[in-house]
Structure 1
Amino acid sequence: MGRITTHLLDLTLGEPASHVEINLYRVKDEKKEQLAKRQTNVDGRLDQPLLEGDNLIKGTYQMEIAIGDYFRQTGRVSDFLEVVPIRFQVNSTTENYHVPLLISPFGYQFYRGS
C-alpha cells in the first residue's frame, strides 16, 4: 500500500526544520477536505505518514506547510512567506508519494522524492 510523507530542510541553517505544522487535504471541485494534521520531529520528518493504506485514493491532494510560524519560533522573521501550499496528484494507490520541501524565509523548493 502507498503513502504520503514529507521531509523539511531549512536551507538557511543547513539542518532539518523541526516542529513545523503540516496539514493535508483532499481537493475535489476546489473544495478541501482535511485529512491529517501533523508536526515535523527533530529530524524534520513526520513520526507517521500523512496518509497511507486504504485511506490513500487516487485524486488531488494539497499539503499546507506553516513555515511562517516555524521561522518566528526560531527567532527569524519571515514577512514574506506564511504558508506553502503544494498541490499534487496521486495516480497510484500502491506507490509512495514522498514530497520533501527545502525552505528559507524567502523561497522554497519541493520535489517528488523516493
Structure 2
Amino acid sequence: MPGKLTTHVLDTAHGCPAVSMTVELWTVDPQTGQKMLLKTTSTNSDGRTDTPLLSAGELKVGVYELVFSVGDYFAQKSVHISNPPFLNRVPIQFGIADPDAHYHVPLLTSPWSYSTYRGS
C-alpha cells in the first residue's frame, strides 16, 4: 500500500467527531526550525479530511507539523471558554521515517485538554 498521511479529530467534550475544524499541515526544517505551509483544510462530518493530507509520492522523509484550530472550533460550540482560550492552536510535530507507510495522526480534544497517538 502506498504511503499516506491522514488525521481524525474527536471532540471529547461532546463525544462526537469535530466537524469543520481547520487543520494546517506544515513541513519543518529540522536544522533551522523554519516552517513552510503545505496545506490548509477542514474536517468533514466524520471529523476526518475528505482526502489524505499527503498521498503516495507526496509523503517524504522529514519533520511535519499539524496545527489544529481548537479554539475557533470550540468558540462556535455552546461551550463556555475563556478569552483567550486555554487551547487555541494545537500543534503536533512528528517525523516521517518511512514514506511508504500509512501515518495516521488523530487528535482527541476538549477546550482544556488534548491527546494524540500514531494510529493506523
TM-score, scaled to structure 1? 0.96
What is the CA-CA distance between 1:75 and the residue it aligns to? 2.6
Q: What SS does structure 2 have at the residue aligned with 1:68? A: helix
1:1-114 to 2 correspondences below 5 Å: 1-28=2-29, 29-78=32-81, 79-114=85-120
Aligned mates of 1:20, 1:81 — CA distance in 2:
14
Q: How many residues in Structure 1 have an aligned counterpart in Structure 2?
A: 114
Aligned mates of 1:100, 1:77 — CA distance in 2:
24
Percent identity of paired positions between Structure 1 and Structure 2: 43
On the 8 A contact 1:60/1:89 being kept in 2, the answer is: yes
Give ranges in structure 2 of 5+ residues lacking alignment. Answer: none
Q: What SS does structure 1 have at the residue aligned with 2:79? A: coil
Supply the AA of the counterpart residue of 1:3.
Answer: K
Aligned mates of 1:2, 1:36 — CA distance in 2:
17
Give ranges in structure 1 of 5+ residues lacking alignment. Answer: none
TM-score, scaled to structure 2? 0.92
Structure 1 moving runs of 4+ over 3 Å? none
Q: Whose radius of gyration is greater, 1 or 2?
A: 2
On the 8 A contact 1:36/1:51 being kept in 2, the answer is: no
On the 8 A contact 1:99/1:111 being kept in 2, the answer is: yes
Q: What SS does structure 2 have at the residue aligned with 1:69? A: helix
